[in-house]
Amino acid sequence: MNGQLAALSPGPCLQAKGVSGHDARSPRLQVIKPEATPLTASRAPKLAASQHAQIEAMIQSKLTKKQIVEAVGCSNRTVSRIRWNLRLFGTTKAPPNRVGRRRKIPPLAKEALLERLTKEPDMLRSEMISFLRSEFEVEVSPSTITRLLKAVDQSRKAIGRVAEQQDPNLRDL
């Protein structure tokens, strides 16, 4: 129906029995345009970063909600939400909701492992697992290590070749 919502409502066909094959007691499917529904009501524009900073400064200077609303030109709900986010997250915006599974190897551990692989290219997967366990207290399987190397487009053979070509004396510079 091309982005239009359909609703069951009494339509003009209820005037007479048998018009277009409908009985006077049966409702007719009628198309309602999106601009006519409360679901598509226009939303207020997002606040600019400068407005977020201004609200944060005003909250920290203990101004009332009414004073902040009048100065910035936003709603009471916006000020309440920003206050709540400051209490919970320390910032005016809540962190984004992640989609999918949580990463088994945190980004810091991943970077450390890849750095270690440039220094020791002949590491076995079991050694990589024990490195992550001892340094970052992360338990992973060998297949997780394989997927990590594949995701960064490296294989153990490629890492070994790159390490052979590098001069160990230049690595410290």
Q: What is the pLDDT of residues 140-170, one digit of tens each?
A: 999 999 999 998 887 666 555 555 566 666 5
pTM of this structure: 0.41
Evaluate whether residue 142 is within a structural domain. yes
Beta pairing partners, 28 = 9
Name the amino acid, one letter, at 123: M
Per-residue pLDDT tens listing for the chain (173 residues): 454 444 444 444 444 444 455 555 656 666 555 554 555 557 778 899 999 999 999 999 999 999 999 999 999 999 999 999 999 889 999 888 888 888 899 989 999 999 999 888 888 999 999 999 999 999 999 999 999 999 888 766 655 555 556 666 655 55
Give how far the C-alpha of residue 56 lies from the chain's centroid of Cα atoms, to the nearest Å: 23
Q: Which domain holds residue 54?
A: 49-89
Last residue of a domain, one of 57, 89, 121: 89
Length of the chain: 173
